[in-house]
A and B are shown apart, each in its own frame.
Chain A
Amino acid sequence: QSALTQPRSVSGSPGQSVSVSCTETSSDVGGYSYVSWYQHHPGKAPKLMIYDVSKRPSGVPDRFSGSKSGNTASLTISGLQAEDEADYYCCSYAGSVVFGGGTKLTVL
């Protein structure tokens, strides 16, 4: 059974860059190719920000980027803006679907 570990919180000032990590703990390393990231403002529908590790859906600003090294995927947000303050979740979709515990991003 896969598990995805995220930091509980990260913060940054407007204009800065922040990264959110997502580490997979599982023997099935090969299944960690379908990593996606979601932005969730409480009370609203979650929004897909990154899929297939590093691809950005149409309409998502290029300030958002994704990468993966070994068992750790990362979401990087550059040029932080106030509206980026939200919860961010990583997800592995391979066989079974697993979400990380979520990271609260605070824009100082």
Chain B
Amino acid sequence: EVQLVESGGDLVKPGGSLRLSCAASGFPFSSYHMNWVRQAPGKGLEWVSSISNSRNYINYADSVKGRFTISRDDAKNSLYLQMNSLRAEDTAIYYCARVPGTRAFDLWGRGTLVTVSS
């Protein structure tokens, strides 16, 4: 089955760190650009970060630049998001999403919840 499954979400204190994972299956993971998108409680979708299939292109939203790091392990069919210096405003459901040749997210996971609170 073609799917993305996120994990690693948890309750963490402000200033803390967390590493999210996204396991891909059913498609050639190494061929696709991958992204993280989040949704804060009661808010809309917000793009967080992207990594190209070759790892040559990595981008971050201004709101997370310098604090979050995206990476991928094609041998493990996995995408990661290392989140440091977490803030209350980082509280959200984090989704991983696939981008094929078109500029659109054609496959999403169901998300993992990150809560930043003391």
Contact = CB atoms under 8 A, between A and B. Distances in A.
Chains A and B belong together in one complex = yes
B13 to A, nearest CB: 26
A38 B97 CA distance: 12
Interface residues of B, number: 22
25 contacts: A34-B102, A36-B104, A40-B45, A44-B110, A45-B109, A46-B95, A46-B97, A47-B108, A48-B105, A48-B106, A51-B102, A51-B106, A52-B102, A52-B103, A52-B104, A55-B102, A91-B45, A91-B104, A91-B105, A94-B103, A96-B47, A96-B59, A97-B35, A99-B45, A99-B47
Question: Which 9 A-B residue pairings sit nearest by Cβ, starting from the closest?
Answer: A51-B104, A93-B103, A36-B104, A34-B103, A97-B47, A102-B44, A45-B108, A99-B45, A101-B44
Interface of B: 4, 35, 37, 44-47, 50, 59, 95, 97, 99, 102-111
